[in-house]
Amino acid sequence: MEKISTNKLKEDKQILLNQMSIIGDKILRGSLFECFKRCGRKGCKCMKGKGHGPKSYVTINFPKVKPQQDYIPLRYVEQVKEYISNHQQLKKIIEQICVINREILKRREELQ
């Protein structure tokens, strides 16, 4: 396997940093899910069927904190999906940058 030059590693890292800047602050940690709810009103059609919905919710987990759920209005669902996807992408980019930085350090070269 051919060894990648340090300059190429640094170029790759810059590309990843540019990808991070494109994402910017459009990130949200969490998972989106849909469910059907019963309203509880006597005689409502939801009591016999699946329920009202689907209703969208985001669940957010932070270390040492109880998971939190928030209702997401339909008009924001696509935006929330994008933000969650960006968060996942950002985590992958960070890991790739860490791998590059480690390789540069192993070569005893400057990270910048």
Summarised one tens digit per residue, pLDDT across range 72-95 is: 999 999 999 999 999 999 999 999
Q: Is residue 61 part of a domain?
A: yes
What tokens does 2 get? 């051919």
The total of structural domains in the chain comes to 1
pLDDT (average), residues 98-105: 95
Q: Is residue 76 part of a domain?
A: yes
> 96 lies in which domain range?
6-106
Q: Is residue 102 part of a domain?
A: yes
pLDDT (average), residues 27-41: 92
Q: Is residue 111 part of a domain?
A: no
Pairing of strands 68-72, 52-60: antiparallel
Q: Is residue 1 part of a domain?
A: no
Q: Is residue 112 part of a domain?
A: no
Q: Is residue 74 part of a domain?
A: yes
pLDDT at 43: 86
pLDDT (average), residues 24-29: 95
